[in-house]
Amino acid sequence: MRKIFFLLLIVAFILGTLIIFRNAIARFTLNQLLTQTIGAETAIDKVNIGIFDSVVEINGLKIYNPRGFINETFLEMPQVSIGYDRQELFNLRLHITTLTIALRELAVAINEKGAINIDQLKVLHPQEKKQGPVELPKFTIDKFVLKIGRVETKNYANKENTALASVDFRMKERVYKNITSFQGLAGSILIDTMKMAGIKGAQVYGEHLLGNLGKSLVKQLGDKKR
């Protein structure tokens, strides 16, 4: 009986520790996964996993430029809210019912060699991975709400004037449905936002990346052309 009691005590201690430090553990793990999957350094201020509700809140998410570019923020997302189906987790499936992202700023940069920061992200070139980073789990997103703030472009090949354009959408909302891959999610954020801002060559650039994006985004872009 004593052995059973001490075993239960140890299990309770471990579970209690996980519950108390769940947010710190999630913040560290998510930061590592995003950095390796995206192919650029990321930083997260805070992660809050609800105990009684099926919601995860991520605050202060920043993605920096990949290597070969000036070390500055590429994407800034002050708030990300993820609503998920808790029952599906028991079946080892990640079913996101609603994903809401507040995109405060997207900075498209061209370096001195003429390369574009977006094109250097690993997530948009999955077929080129030899060893490959740690993959995020497969998931489905029923509804994705993207709130778009400022989109700007910089050309560091022109040392006299790096600024090209800046458009502030004042957190305009775009809604997407049935996303089934991280490539599709990234494409929805990057390609569509670039097109909204009227960035020169965005349409051609979108076509160039079309083969690397998720099926859901391919369908979305196809529907928009009709």
Tens-digit pLDDT profile for residues 182-220: 778 887 888 778 777 766 545 444 444 433 333 333 343
For 59, the enclosing helix (H) or strand (E) is: strand 55-64
* N-term to C-term CA, the chain: 71
More confident residue, 87 or 79: 79
Mean pLDDT of the chain: 78
Residues 6+ positions from 89 with CB-CB distance below 8 Å: none
State the pLDDT at residue 222: 42
In the predicted structure, residue 19 carries a pLDDT above the cut 90 = no
Query: What does the angle CA 89 – CA 90 – CA 94 come to, to the nearest 5 degrees?
Result: 20
78: pLDDT confidence band, cut at 50, 70 and 90?
very high
In the predicted structure, residue 158 carries a pLDDT above the cut 80 = no
Number of folded domains that form the chain: 1
CA 212 from chain centre, in angstroms, equals 16
pTM: 0.76
- Its domain, for residue 216, covers 2-225
More confident residue, 213 or 107: 107
State the pLDDT at residue 55: 94
For 183, the enclosing helix (H) or strand (E) is: helix 182-196
